[in-house]
Structure 1
């Protein structure tokens, strides 16, 4: 085998490289006439530094000697090793894409015990590919044999695992339920002495234990794979493995049946939570070229793809593009021009993106067990009011330093550990602000309901009742102090759930709940009762405070998007919490983020114009002119230079009283301003 670029000799080599990756998701037929030199030349047109390509698992894209790995019958073109060697000559690293979630039908027939089993005892056979279970000997042991063969016969620099974990849907999104195979039954009984649950229901205590079971077995499997790979090559990059903080790769994609609206901050969100939670891990969030599984040959809007790439850069990540087939034979190249533009920009300025860290002052908690809509609503509250924030995954939040944060937001994240609850209380006691929404911390990390809320800093004495349907309710702004965005509006509307609670005497109550009242016919559309139940509370706690919001404004805003909701939260953040944001005349449609070089030599201000997101379509953004942006700037000396990396022009600026104002003549899609 040829020597790889760096992986065999340099530990953590991935941290030293700029990341511009392309995934060519090679089909079987692409190997019939693949040409290594052409393959590399196509990558070089994009200035790619990394490529991810199909190698092993469901189908081996190389001659395999293993009896239970199905070898592709189309290996007539250049070999995988030829492609790897050509890439290495061009200083392009190569990651092997593997998929151990399925086996071909002939393999299943020899090992039926490897298969996933539904509640009805059925397997999932999708086009001759049979789903296999994570707990089967195939994924636990035989996959490691395949990995060993692959890595000892090919000089890959990294490895990526597609569709890992517990798969319960097929490519048509048919749901097949919790796996009931003998392996799962045996392991679950050994862990909890219980039979497997047959449906996903958080009200079922057995299902709650099953979620714990999945977490434990996934962590064990991840460690097992990590140990196996590092025993073969200790310097091989293992994507998404938290035992090795190398590269975390995920997707911004679309799906025909997915509920709308599109999550317009998808790439920003994915990048933020990786860098906020797993540093020094590199975030690679790929823009998926195609519309959905069923339409892999037709691309989404080029403007949507370009927006995703610049959102990655804006929030400190690398660039990644994913298409079906090869670059040369792809049948919809409409995205190529704009993708190349972003890749070329990064190639020209890649040194500016090394060793940077966000200057965020707010942490927004995120995780697999939270309310997605509540989280996304709060993401929008912060982004569209230009607050600097990081997203942090709940499972590691207790381990991440919070020194730079002024506030931590818990957006209806119910299942948090005692350790994290103590850290949140300590954060408030030491002078921070904790904003907890709805049922945040009402359950422990094994999904069991607590007898009382975990967060002492909120000042909740007891929860009396949770009403799930508050249709037609409002909050009355009886005192408008601190609500500058409501000069002629006296009400804020509420929908969804509300928590009736008793509070400690020192807790300040704000807003007054108008409970559900008549809304038809118009002649009887009025309320007669204004209660003392609050829209939010503030509890002084040590040197800081806890703010409790007993309803779900994020879910409401994510679903409906009315300014009545975002204005209320904007006033809460600005006046009640006293948080500082990026100021100026930026539109809410402009995302802003501020990063600093770790050596303090410069700062990087990014602006992304999201105005092209119109309804469910992504068009070119509407250019904006004569912008002024004011950021915190605490250095004693004024900067020597404020320069656009996009236009190459120096921008007019002024600095005083701990802030820096920059005049930006125009903004199309993306701006990057270096302050040094």
Structure 2
């Protein structure tokens, strides 16, 4: 039963919405048509912001959702709570005016909370609420102190702050910034260690049966593994409490943050990179991962304007932002951007033209976005939602090969396999790039998928800690997991498989090249040669067979499982030599020769192609499951040079062959709304695009 007060709130809220939407829509965010602008306000801007100018800018930029500061680190409204530090620049009713005037223009307002820090005055009154490192250090940014998640501020006072805001303003959503455990000072790039606050110690002892909180992050330590589970349980417990509080107040308030449990909108971020190579597929990666891993959630991937925490007032290049926004649309997210301050007097306005163009495009053609179904028969398993290090490079390299070859694929997070069993079993091929650990439930699903006909490709150190799985699925046994492959060569020996190596008999290697016993595999490929003799040209040579192979295939009754015990993805991600991409593509075509049947094109590698089945995203279609056709998104990345972004070059005469069981009634482009000539023969649509500028969407109804 809904509490009476919550019911009253919901009825009052419904009167503030457009009549059709309040009647037909269950929850406003479920339309998946977000066009968010986040104004991350520095304290001093609270003195100058103006509700009328904010709303005018939002309307001018076709935004339908504002994300703006409310509380946590400091209150941007007149709080009555003595433990909630008030922004000294705050004007009394500015947040109320912003919410009221946004609603007058049918713009939703999500308010931002950050409970990771408290002001020095709060710290001095309650030092026991705050983080303390194993060395006795605090994490401090000027006069803000990092708190402990298990201390009273987060466990009790944060809920009071949220409750006060909900009771004061008719908000549409709350966004939680920096939730969870804090061990780093990200603004200064410094690691401090596991929080040793007394409240953390006490709660971990209760959870673990009296054990002492670990002081070091050692994955080999069973105590640390138990601590990781403890963190997960306690964060989810807090999230559940928040969910109950908010939904009791008003079920129409959306909860948005970076996790998935007890959340309505999962937020992700496309950020600038500080190391090369840059990753132009950031938004496709983030959204593709989230929409397939959490199909019951709405995803909002934010284009972060700032170059870095140290360079907040300088924005990334407009061409990079343009790619991010178009990739959001193409993969099933709405639009989202985050900037410092409001839009007036902004220090770097170069991206304004891009925002205005893409947001207006999304608004005009809204029915063709946000209600998609994938056609991919291949899935890449992602090493988490925020991968880093070697697994990230391996994962991105595999993605890069597929995207450049225009092979449709989904992304599924490794931790979600057990929750998506039927989805996983329906893929024809799963690629596991350095997936070193899976839960037993996930491994069971992989085995079942393999038995039912799903092919597997694993690379580098995948399953290194599960020798029985390596043997059962791949017929592989590790002799040497870590081995510097610089100087070694591979031989693409079986030309019935390796058809792409005309004129080449040896393939150089770099990075990890595992030495695996593949004697239990049914086929062994790519003999590994020794490093040979280094030195001047007169003495080089001496590359002899090692007896090891860089690829093995295990035949199962209905499928094949391939293992590449080397950094196949990383070497391509870092260096981009085509020969390494060809190894994977030839292997895919060997186990899945029908891979080109769904989609074939002559488009250059730097044209990103994303094909989806769509249902028109209208209020009246909210429960419709049948398809209205196909939509092909083309994103022009030719302006990306590897370390900067230029305007994309126009591309001409693009041909496409797209599998479609039904004959299209019409084909047209969204960008210029012109018909496209096509033929339909033997279940295949043939069409040509004469010219591609920066982006286009081809609708096949």
2:682 is aligned, of 639, 642, 657, to 657
User: Would you say the 8 A contact 1:33–1:77 is kept in 2?
Assistant: no
Deviation at 1:438? Answer: 2.4
User: Would you say the 8 A contact 1:470–1:498 is kept in 2?
Assistant: yes
Partner of 2:298: 282
CA deviations 1:30-70 (Å, max 9, x no partner) are 22232222211110001111010000100001111111110
SS, match of residue 275 in structure 2 = coil
Deviation at 1:497? Answer: 2.5
Deviation at 1:340? Answer: 0.8
User: Would you say the 8 A contact 1:476–1:491 is kept in 2?
Assistant: yes
The 10-residue stretch of structure 1 (518-527 or 565-574) with the greater mean CA deviation from structure 2: 518-527
**Structure with a larger share of its residues in helix:** 2
Deviation at 1:434? Answer: 1.3
Deviation at 1:194? Answer: 4.0
Kindly report which structure 2 residues correspond to 1:503-652, keeping only aligned pairs within 5 A, or say none: 503=518, 505=520, 507-578=522-593, 580-581=595-596, 582-598=599-615, 599-635=626-662, 638-652=663-677
User: Would you say the 8 A contact 1:35–1:78 is kept in 2?
Assistant: no
Deviation at 1:153? Answer: 1.0
1:209 is aligned, of 206, 216, 226, to 226
The 10-residue stretch of structure 1 (196-205 or 486-495) with the greater mean CA deviation from structure 2: 196-205
Partner of 1:332: 348
Deviation at 1:73? Answer: 1.7
Aligned counterparts of 2:343 and 2:13: Cα–Cα separation in 1 = 26
Kindly report which structure 2 residues correspond to 1:359-398, keeping only aligned pairs within 5 A, or say none: 359-368=375-384, 371-398=391-418
Deviation at 1:399? Answer: 1.6
Deviation at 1:502? Answer: 3.3
Partner of 2:308: 292
2:433 is aligned, of 387, 395, 411, to 411
User: Would you say the 8 A contact 1:518–1:525 is kept in 2?
Assistant: yes
SS, match of residue 651 in structure 1 = coil
2:511 is aligned, of 484, 490, 496, to 496
Deviation at 1:167? Answer: 2.1
User: Would you say the 8 A contact 1:123–1:130 is kept in 2?
Assistant: yes
Aligned counterparts of 1:379 and 1:559: Cα–Cα separation in 2 = 13
User: Would you say the 8 A contact 1:429–1:545 is kept in 2?
Assistant: no
Deviation at 1:614? Answer: 1.1
SS, match of residue 212 in structure 1 = helix
Kindly report which structure 2 residues correspond to 1:242-321, keeping only aligned pairs within 5 A, or say none: 242-244=260-262, 246-254=264-272, 258-321=274-337
Give the 3 Å change call, closer, same or farther, for CA 133–356 of structure 1 in structure 2: same
Aligned counterparts of 2:362 and 2:22: Cα–Cα separation in 1 = 27
Aligned counterparts of 1:271 and 1:413: Cα–Cα separation in 2 = 20
- Is 1:668 aligned with 2:693? yes
Partner of 2:463: 441
Aligned counterparts of 1:469 and 1:93: Cα–Cα separation in 2 = 54
Paired positions, count: 665
- Is 1:456 aligned with 2:472? yes
Deviation at 1:655? Answer: 2.5
Partner of 2:128: 113
Deviation at 1:8? Answer: 9.2
Deviation at 1:665? Answer: 0.6
Partner of 1:154: 169
Partner of 1:446: none
Aligned counterparts of 1:274 and 1:587: Cα–Cα separation in 2 = 27
Partner of 2:137: 122
Aligned counterparts of 1:471 and 1:209: Cα–Cα separation in 2 = 38
SS, match of residue 143 in structure 1 = helix
Aligned counterparts of 1:558 and 1:206: Cα–Cα separation in 2 = 35
User: Would you say the 8 A contact 1:421–1:441 is kept in 2?
Assistant: no
User: Would you say the 8 A contact 2:533–2:539 is kept in 1?
Assistant: yes
Aligned counterparts of 1:576 and 1:510: Cα–Cα separation in 2 = 14
In structure 1, stretches of 5+ residues that fail to align are 443-448
Deviation at 1:450? Answer: 3.6
SS, match of residue 515 in structure 2 = strand
SS, match of residue 39 in structure 2 = strand
SS, match of residue 407 in structure 2 = coil
Give the 3 Å change call, closer, same or farther, for CA 659–249 of structure 1 in structure 2: same
User: Would you say the 8 A contact 2:313–2:340 is kept in 1?
Assistant: yes
Aligned counterparts of 1:412 and 1:61: Cα–Cα separation in 2 = 45
SS, match of residue 296 in structure 2 = coil
User: Would you say the 8 A contact 2:518–2:524 is kept in 1?
Assistant: no
User: Would you say the 8 A contact 2:655–2:686 is kept in 1?
Assistant: yes
What is the RMSD computed on CA atoms of the aligned residues? 2.2
Aligned counterparts of 1:586 and 1:474: Cα–Cα separation in 2 = 32
Aligned counterparts of 2:687 and 2:239: Cα–Cα separation in 1 = 47
